[in-house]
Structure 1
Amino acid sequence: MSSSPQEKKLVDESVFEQASEDGSTSKLASLDPVELQILERKAVRRLDVVILPMISMFYLLSFLDRANIGNARVAGLQKNLGMTDHQYQICITVLYVPYILAELPANLLLRKIGPRYLMPSLLTAWGTMVALQGLVSSFAGLATVRAFLGLVEGPMFPGWLFSSQRLRHVLFFDFHDGVDLIVLQLSGAFSGLLAAAIVKMDGLGGRPGWAYIFIEGAFSVLMGILGFFIIPSTPQEVKFMSLEMKELLARRLARDNPTLRNNQDDFSFREVARSLKSPHVLLLFAVFYGIGTVLYGQALFLPSIVNQLGFSPNKTQLLSVGPFAGGFFVTLLGAIWSDRMESRAIPSMVISLLGVIGFSIYLTTTGKFTRYGSLFFTVPGVYAAVPPLSAWMSNNSEPHYRRATSIALGFVGTNCGGIMSTWLFPTKDAPNYRRTTIINLSFSIMILVGSGINAVLLHFKNKEKIKKRDEILAPYHLELDDDKGTNAARAWVELGDRHPDFKYTL
């Protein structure tokens, strides 16, 4: 997104007039442009070091704690609790209903509560729920605990994506939004490795091995408590940073987010409705539905798929590591590529092509090793598309509450697809899963095509805004602006991403 030259000049000049809270005058005015640039890079790196590891750990634990039920199933969960396939699928599905219902309200409230308090509280609560799964002894108990797990975990992904963007919008492009989501790949690999080791505790304390896969959720509780002391809500709250560094970060944040420079960006259902009526948001909602169906199918059922190909339970846990580990490297390369190209569409389309290839191989072959090899295409083919597509949804919505709504809608679409995925892998269809593979292949094609259509749509919207600039800005009488730029600020708040100076990311 870009600001008008007048607005950039306004921000750059005003920052030198700011004073610290204790009354001391900023030293930025005494620095030359080269010194300012060096100090700004130093501030960015320091913010990166403080924020990125903690957020990445939260993401890792979140997905690990939600998807490890697939490893627990291979380790004997379903058999020990006497559950049918239908009951097992209900236990997976029941998590998504409160998860989805909690996403949008929590994202809209995040600005009031702040990530410093909300996110660690959620992690502590969900770690407790995960650990409780290891103590259940019936289908009803497992279903109840997973419903509460969905309720406390629902706000986490969209909340972190949104708040980390606000905290770290000062970092280069949005590569770090991708880094957070790259961690999801590691969770799949760690899940298999941990399960292979943990199931050896079978019988310890009178608990089966699968129970200890869940009890490791106690580590999430510890990380949640630690988060209260580390996570800031704004760059100004970051520790180990000088006043001048914080001021430079605030300047960049204001420059890249014009609506943050005034107090006119109040909550209104109109902004929620505008997000719901944005064609590019609705198009990506459909894409995220396809992603959710394929991604959660892989995350929750890949151990079962490998097991049903004819591998032993212990070997299954270890073999499930490979596709996720390979996916991690593809995701990392895809995020770097997206960053360097300053593009979301092309990397998303190329990555989705890997999924098309993988599902085509699985559909047209019968050998268990060939089908296992196809997972090295299908897993990266959906997981690696998540970082650029998630950042894409965030990039192209403005102001605050419209962006918060758009991000939440993306995750709602993903988790609606997650609900569908839970019913696509009945044991009776194993190991061919012909119907399921065709569905996943179709969605992979839809993700590829939908990304291309969205890029074309945004390209034409950018051209149209430039062509109709004067007509769009006419109601705001910018030529009558006072020294504070009141009308210009109102134009940014009301128009948001429809503002002629807002360039949609392609």
Structure 2
Amino acid sequence: MEDSKQFIDDGEKGIGSQTSLRSPSPTTDATFAKSVWRKMDLCLLPVVTMFYFLSFLDRANIGNSRVAGLQKDLKMTNNQYSIALTVTYVPYIVAELPSNLLLKFSCRPCFLGAPVQVIGPNLMLPTMLTLWGIVTTLQGVLHTYSCLLACRFFLGLFEGGVFPGLVLYLSFFYPRQELQWRISAFFSAASVSGAFSGLLAFGIINMNGIGNRPGWAWIFILEGLFTFVFGITSYFLLPRSPAHASFLTQRQKDYVINKLKEDGATGRDDDVDRFSWVEVGRAFALPQVWMLAILFFFAGTILYGMAYFTPSIVQTLGFTSNRAQLMSVPPFASAFVLTMLGAYISDRYHCRGFISIFSCVLCVIGFSMFLKSHSHNIQYASLFFSIPGTYLSAPTLSTWSANNAAPHTRRATAIAIGFIMTNSGGILATWLLGALSPAPSYALATRVLLAFSVLMVAISALNTWYLWNQNNKKAEIRKTSTIDSEAPGLGDRSAWFIYAL
């Protein structure tokens, strides 16, 4: 099965505009190709990874601050803590689709021919990062619960488009089957931030009393200031597109652009990828988008439940506040290793669905262990299944979504739908592991997350079967027709678009 191409013509090769590629790639030399992708990885991935690392760190560090005394000092109930987390998600969800559509927004000025891109990721993403760095810092100087709610609202507003925006941004630079490893590389920053935040919090809370501020306040202040400084720096680090990447030679730029066209990851010209409300609507009509949307909702519930409540869960297993910060590190560290290994296998063997199923099975094992055992040691060991499982699932689903929608506007919408559902799951997680299922047992939450994990196995298998069946139908069409006889504008519905399984 040939998953490495999105479009194929009668000679088994095609481009995103559904017409044959007339001019050859600048080179087919394997050494040259490796040098191009290596240079892209070295210049682009560290910046993108830092974006998501800071995003997840600044959003989830409230969990560490809670263990360090935030909830006690602001006299919050468990119900109020859940409200504070929920307030973050409302603007977060609202911002996701508009920000993704604006990421590559262009318009056609009066009396001018070619469209002009007026908003680009090189401006939009750094602006978001800088603004939420300011908000994170302000959380360290507040004294009331109402001020915390205001900060969490604006944090969600400015962070809302980051993850879907970064997934879409990387699809501007990498072909489909090169994508999951890169998405996993930056998403692994979430598991690293989960581990690092525990270590960082353990050190920072020793600043308790400095400047007449508690230790939890310094967590927000120091992490927020770093985010702000990096946000300003990132204006000079992110290229708008491969054609604007100053670290590539012209020959390398041509190679990347042609590889994206061959793969179908980009259109043959700007008209193919220009914004269209019709394409937004078509994204909502794709069956694979909605199967993945359900998966995103379940995965989001598990992911944010683990991100926000792991320090609290570990504390209920008999560890002190400081010790709980440290003991939350190993499960997230193991998640990083598994995420990268799973990404390599998924890209190498083109098996998104299998990796998704495997990750969900790990969650089933982990939540079953936590639910059925009364031993603190076994319950702690269960985190080495549930946390790596969910952190492997998220980049797999993100790549699967980006792989199977085209052209650009349809893909941007599909990605945004997935992350809207992810963060809707985050809202459920804040209540499920907060007011609805309190410590120490988290019984109701564990049962729900276990049920979600089982359903994710089934839906991942169903989506894999659906895409496989659609590929078989398209193969039959290609036997009796040509790409030139096909109606234009079909995108991923084209018989020459091969779904990634």
Q: How high is the TM-score relative to the length of structure 2? A: 0.91
Q: 1:294 to 1:174 in 2, by over 3 A?
A: closer
1:95 corresponds to which of 77, 83, 88 = 88
Q: 63, 67, 75: which one pairs with 1:70?
A: 63
Partners of 1:11 and 1:123 in 2: CA distance: 40
Q: CA deviation at 1:262?
A: 2.4
Deviation at 1:296, TM superposition (A): 0.4
Quote the RMSD (CA, aligned, Å).
2.0
**Residue equivalent to 1:505:** 500
Q: Decide whether the 8 Å contact of 2:56 with 2:193 is kept in 1.
A: yes
Distance in 1 (CA, whole Å) between partners of 2:269 and 2:24 is: 14
The answer as to 2:345 corresponding to 1:337 is yes
User: Would you say the 8 A contact 1:397–1:497 is kept in 2?
Assistant: yes
Name 1:23's counterpart in structure 2.
none
Q: Tell me how far 1:351 sits from its aligned partner.
A: 1.6
Q: Deviations over 1:226-272 (max 9, x none)?
A: 11111001112212322111111111122212751123323222211
SS of 1:233 mapped into structure 2? coil
Matched residue SS, 2:271: coil
The equivalent residue for 1:483 is none
Change (3 A) 1:171 1:454: closer
Alpha-carbon separation, structure 1, partners of 2:394 and 2:177: 20
Number of residue-to-residue matches in the alignment = 476
Give the stretch that moved more between structures: 152-161 or 336-345.
336-345
2:134 is the counterpart of 1:141: no
- Deviation, 1:37, is 4.0
Matched, 1:56 2:49: yes
User: Which residue in the other structure is 1:24 paired with?
Assistant: none
- Separation in 2 of the partners of 1:345 and 1:143? 39
Q: Does 1:3 align with 2:11?
A: no
Distance 2:23 2:385 in 1: 51
Q: CA deviation at 1:131?
A: 0.7
1:498, CA displacement in angstroms?
Answer: 0.6
Matching residue within 303, 307, 328 for 2:336: 328
Q: For 1:10 and 1:410, how far apart are their aligned partners in 2?
A: 30
Question: Is 1:201 aligned to residue 207 of structure 2?
Answer: yes
Assess if the C-alpha contact under 8 Å between 2:176 and 2:265 holds in 1.
no
Does residue 416 (structure 1) correspond to residue 424 (structure 2)? The answer is yes
The correspondence for 1:358, drawn from 358, 366, 369, is 366
Inter-CA distance 497–171: structure 2 relative to 1 (3 Å threshold): closer
* Counterpart Cα distance in 2 of 1:134 and 1:179: 30
Measured in 1, the distance between the counterparts of 2:305 and 2:198 equals 16
Partner of 2:499: helix, strand, or coil? Answer: coil
Q: 1:316 maps to which residue? A: 324
Does structure 2 conserve the Cα–Cα contact (< 8 Å) formed by 1:11 and 1:251? no
Q: 1:44·1:171 contact (CA, 8 Å) conserved in 2? A: no
2:240 to 233, 243, 262: 233
Counterpart secondary structure, 1:441: helix
3-state secondary structure, aligned to 1:421: helix
- 1:13 CA displacement: 4.3
Give the drift of 1:7.
Answer: 4.0
2 CA distance for matches of 1:332 and 1:41? Answer: 19
CA distance in 2, matches of 1:87, 1:458: 43
Partner of 2:441 in structure 1?
432
Task: Check conservation: 2:52, 2:186, Cα contact below 8 A.
Answer: yes
**Aligned-partner Cα distance in 2 for 1:335–1:450:** 20
Bigger drift between 177-186 and 455-464 goes to 177-186
> 1:170 Cα shift?
7.9
Q: Which runs of 5+ in 1 are unaligned?
A: 17-27, 480-487
> CA offsets per residue over residues 438-481 of structure 1, 9 Å max, x none?
0000011111111101000111111122223489x79x9x36xx
Equivalent of 1:221, from 228, 236, 239?
Answer: 228
Q: What's the CA shift string for 1:1-49, capped at 9, x where partnerless?
A: 1332464697764368xxxxxxxxxxx5xxxx56x44333322211121
Conserved? CA contact 1:462–1:503, under 8 Å: yes
Name which one, 1 or 2, has greater alpha-carbon Rg. 1
Would the aligned equivalents of 1:15 and 1:247 in 2 still touch at CA under 8 Å?
no
In 2: Cα distance, 1:170 partner to 1:358 partner: 31
CA distance in 2, matches of 1:76, 1:415: 26
Within a 5 Å distance, the mapping from 1:180-329 to structure 2 comes to 180-215=186-221, 216-257=223-264, 260-265=267-272, 266-329=274-337
Q: 1:385 offset after TM fit, Å?
A: 1.1
1:173–1:89: structure 2 CA closer, same or farther, 3 Å change rule?
closer
Sequence identity, in percent?
43
The 3 A distance-change label for structure 1 pair 456 and 171 is closer
Pick 1 or 2: higher relative contact order, CA cutoff 8 A, min separation 6.
2
User: Is 2:393 the counterpart of 1:385?
Assistant: yes
Report the residue type matching 1:46 in the other structure: K
Query: Is contact 1:165–1:177 with CA below 8 Å preserved after alignment?
Result: no
Offset at residue 410 of structure 1 (A): 0.7
CA, structure 1 residues 498+12, in 2 after alignment: closer, same or farther (shift >3 Å)? Answer: closer
Larger relative helix fraction: 1
* TM-fit CA distance, 1:309: 2.2
SS class of match (2:141) = coil
Using structure 1 for the length normalisation, give the TM-score.
0.90
The answer to whether the 8 A contact 1:47-1:168 is kept is no
Which amino acid in the other structure matches residue 469 of structure 2? Answer: F
Q: 2: CA distance between counterparts of 1:340 and 1:39? A: 20
Deviations 1:331-370 (A, max 9, x none): 1211112122111011111121111011111111112222
What is the CA-CA distance between 1:386 and the residue it aligns to? 1.2
Please name the residue that 1:19 is paired with.
none
**For the residues of structure 1 that align with 2:451 and 2:402, how far apart are their CA atoms?**
26
How far apart, CA to CA, are the structure 1 residues paired with 2:315 and 2:34?
49
